[in-house]
Amino acid sequence: MTDAQTPSETPFWQFSLKLYGKPGVADTFIALQDTCGVDVNLLLFLFWLASGGWQVSADEVRNLDDKVRDWRNLTIIPIRNVRRRLKGAATLVTSGKQEDFRNKVKAVELEAERLQQEALYDVARTGAAGTEATPPAAARANVAAYERVLGRDFPKNAVAVLLGAFDGVAP
């Protein structure tokens, strides 16, 4: 990324917007986040690597997760929790003003996620990750590697939704 580029101009961010915008994908990512502890940005990154033909090992995924953990725990998770608790909560503040504030919190959460993606993109620019594979094979392998890191099997239907959407986005 050049100094003139913003995080939203990185190929990873653009890829994420395309994949996340596919039907059923956003809900699937959120369900995996809530039920399996998935870091959506990390899983998006693994799909982005796969789109370039890079398959990563569980050790490489673990290293990536280690790199983003502090940022995720310090910023993204607490901000998300505040945003979620504000939704429909009965407080002293009028519902309209509370919703306006919640939208501002949501914007801060999105900025925190973009910064995480920018940092992951910078990691990718330091050199090739993993081994070469076809994008579909790399996507399946990267998801499986993340499952091993988390010690969880993702629901098969969720994986099918994501892999199907990936096939429509990957080159």
Mean pLDDT by 10 residues, the chain (171 residues): 52 94 96 97 97 96 96 97 93 92 96 95 83 95 98 97 90 63
Residue whose C-alpha is closest to residue 41's, from 102, 100, 103, 123: 123
Give the pLDDT confidence score for residue 171 in this predicted structure: 63
Provide the pLDDT for residue 8.
Answer: 58
The answer to whether the pTM exceeds 0.85 is yes
Handedness of CA 79, 82, 86, 91 (dihedral sign): negative
User: How many Å apart are CA 157 and CA 9, to the nearest integer?
Assistant: 31
Q: How far is 109 from 16, CA to CA, in rounded Å?
A: 16
